[in-house]
Structure formats: structure tokens, C-alpha cells
Structure 1
């Protein structure tokens, strides 16, 4: 019987950590002085909040900040600095393997001036894909699409993806349908199908190039589906009441 050495345990922990970080997203942005145009504000306190948990940082000398790693979900972002009006941006969507840009401009504080709150915030810049050849169907797009029950037809709306006449096979960048690999929450689908209800999906990613190494040796494309987490379902339940 082989012994499970401390070295093997360390290696296993290392790769588990890499897998965890690969599923995380991040928020970054730039904060400037609104009255002085493009003057960056260093030392601004920036923190994000989700489900009562907070994590924060400060802007650097160029007014830039980065907060990572963050679990996918909806966050509230608050920026504050002595002498300036605080700004809160709510409903900032964080998606794994992506960067949500949240920029802001702060106004010098006036006595009695309340905190500025921005609800239903959408990133001021498009989400930036960390790997090339990545198409993403966001939670908002999934919620509003009429093709939720036909996910493959939905994927065929991307220019590099074609749906076969049988309505089942996908051709990604001309590769054979059997070359396309499907993952559900990081687990490879054995039958090459998306066998979960559309209402359970949080987002769908389609890799047509620059496929990350964690998906293995793939000659075609990768379709990665992430399902909704506890907090996503809880939020939908509360909104439906």
C-alpha cells in the first residue's frame, strides 16, 4: 500500500487551490476627482460586500484598485475617502474568469451631502475576458432570452457557432460536433449534452479559441455551464414573493 506523503498532500492542495482560483472573478477600476476632471485619487477606501461579507483595498497612486479573488455573484461596491462624498454601486455582477470594471468619480464633500447610491449598476466597460476566444451569456441575458429551453440554439447566436439541421449538434469554428466538450460546474458531461433545466443556469461560456488548460486537450470548442448558487436562488425567491 502506497503512503500518502506530505509532499503528495502539498501537491494536491496546490492543484485544488489553482482549480478554486480558476473559478473566481474580480472587480477593478479607476477613481478620479470629479471636479478636476481626470485627476486620479490615491488612497480611496474601496470595499465590496456580498451576503454580509466584506473585502476591501485602497487605490494606488494612479487611482487604480483591484479586488480579487471573488466568488461569482452580485456585489455592492462602496468607495469612500475623507473630504469626498461616498459612492455606492449596487448589483455589480461578478462572473468567474472575468473582470468587472467599476470606475467612479468622487465629489468633494459638502456638509450634509448624502452618500450617492447607484442601483442596478452595469459595468461601465464590457467585461474583459481573461482568455481569448471566449463568448459569455450572462445571467441577465439568460433571464430575458426566449431560447432558455433550447440552450444549443442559444449558443448558435454566436458567429463562430453553428447548429446542425438536427437541432442537436454544434459546430464550433468548423470542427466536428464530437470535438466539442461540455462541462457543468467544472464536471465533464459524459453524453455531450446540457442535461439541466434552463432555469438552473447562471451563465454559459463558449470557448472557440484559447481554451484554458484546465479543460484538457480539446480539438474543437468548450461549452462551460455554471449553475445558480444558493444566494442566486434565494434572491430570486425573495423577489418573487
Structure 2
């Protein structure tokens, strides 16, 4: 009975952590003249068979909530059925916000070509301070084949000792927690750089969900099937 209870506890704790790997997408949908927001339009995105959407308010603002971490394309459908695709994609990190910025409603010029002038941003607002490396950042890091070296170059709060252990500010050597896709590790593991979606480092103000540590937290998320499929479809 104790074994069953213990397994159930682990299962529920895993669910709790997984639920915390969601973020939001926010932004503003404006009319083509960029004078006022478009009210009542659907802001829509998807991940596989899952569809996430929100409705713009009177100022054209929207927030698509509970979106799994990853990269997303967003489009808008107005009440009269007109569709506008936001340029580029937006990145969503756990407990963070992917800010799409201002997107104008599509314009049709004299020869019928859709012209979109907005440029999206990938800012995340209102989150616990952390340092993050995205997939694109990791790809160009000279230390990408050594996770500990890469982490030590992300912030001055972290350094690598002579014996190859990470030190977070005044904490002891190796006093840290590493999560890989939600699985807790006692030391930083080397993950193939090509498989990493992002790395986040918390050197202070650590969220309670990551457990009790006097050092820091390293969070790694690997690329999902949908991330790899999107990269494949967007290849030159």
C-alpha cells in the first residue's frame, strides 16, 4: 500500500511540474491604419492537434493562455471572416510571455498582394528573473558541446571551478538542481546541443516549484516533434 501511495505521489508531482511549463502569448491586433484596435477578433495558434485561441478586447489586445513552451505562429480571424497572419513566430518559455507586439490588419494593395508591416518581438514580461539561451543562441555558442562551460558564460553569477563544477555566487560547488524536460537531476547533464530548445539559469529568486537549493537551478528543454517538424518545413 505504501508503494502504491509513493508512486501516486510521484505521478501527481510530475503532473504539477508539467502544468508549470506553460506560458502565454500576448499582443495587440490593430486596424490597417494602426489607429485603433480590432475588437472581437480571434487570435489563434496551434500545436499539433491542439488549438489555442483568445478574443481581442476593445483595444485590440489579447492573451492566449496555457500554451506549452515552444515556438508558435499566430493568425487573426475577424467577425467578418477576414484573416491576417502575424509575421514570423513567437517564443513562449515556461512561466513566461511570448510578446507578439503590434500586428496590423492585412492590407490589399493595387495588385492584390497582402502587405504586413509589423515586426514581432519575443519579449517576455512579468516573469521571475532568469537568464535564457534560445535554440538559435545555443547553435552559435562556441561552448555548445559542454553544458557546464556554456552555463558558466551565461551570467557572472556562475563560474566553473578547476575541477569542473559549477558555483552559483556564494554557494558550495555543485550546489544546484538541473531539470531536463521536467526530470530533476542532481548535476548538469550534457545534452546534444542540436536537441536543445533552450536553457534557463536561475541564480537568484528561484521559484518554489524547483525545490530547495541554496545554489541555483538550470532548466533544459529539448526540442519536441513539432519544433523539429517546423524547422524541417522552414528549411531553405
Counterpart position of 1:33: 31
User: Does 2:132 match 1:136?
Assistant: yes
Correspondence 1:47-196 to 2 at 5 A: 47-51=44-48, 53-82=50-79, 86-89=83-86, 90-103=88-101, 104-106=103-105, 113-116=112-115, 123-124=120-121, 126-128=123-125, 130-132=127-129, 134-166=130-162, 168-190=164-186, 192-196=187-191
Taking structure 2 as the reference length, the TM-score comes to 0.80
**Which secondary structure state, in structure 1, belongs to the residue aligned with residue 138 of structure 2?**
helix
Relative to structure 1, the CA distance from residue 14 to residue 31 in structure 2 (aligned partners, 3 Å threshold; closer, same or farther) is: farther
The verdict on how the C-alpha distance between 1:18 and 1:130 changes in structure 2, with shifts beyond 3 A counting, is farther
CA shift, 1:213, in A, is 1.2
Any unmatched runs of 5+ in structure 1? none
Provide TM-score, normalisation by structure 1.
0.79
Indicate if the aligned counterparts of 2:147 and 2:188 stay in contact, CA closer than 8 A: no
Change (3 A) 1:86 1:115: farther
The structure-2 alpha-carbon separation of the partners of 1:183 and 1:210, relative to structure 1 and needing over 3 Å to count, comes to same
- 2:31 touches 2:37 (CA, 8 Å); kept in 1? yes
Moved more, 107-116 or 137-146: 107-116
For residues 10-49 of structure 1, the C-alpha deviation after alignment (integer angstroms, 9 at most, x for no partner) is x998755532320112211122234253x22221221113
Contact conserved, 1:85 with 1:113, CA < 8 A, in 2? no
Cα pair distance change 1:91/1:167, threshold 3 Å: farther
Please say if 1:205 is aligned against 2:200.
yes
Distance change >3 Å, CA 181–CA 219, structure 1 → 2: same
- Please state whether the residue corresponding to 1:102 is helix, strand or coil: strand
Quick check: 1:86–1:115 contact (8 Å CA) kept in 2?
no
SS at match of 2:201: strand
4+ runs of 1 displaced by more than 6 Å?
11-14, 108-112
Q: Any stretches of 5+ residues in structure 2 without a counterpart?
A: none
The count of residues paired between Structure 1 and Structure 2 equals 232
Q: Supply the RMSD in Å over aligned alpha carbons.
A: 3.4
Q: Distance in 1 between matches of 2:41 and 2:235?
A: 37
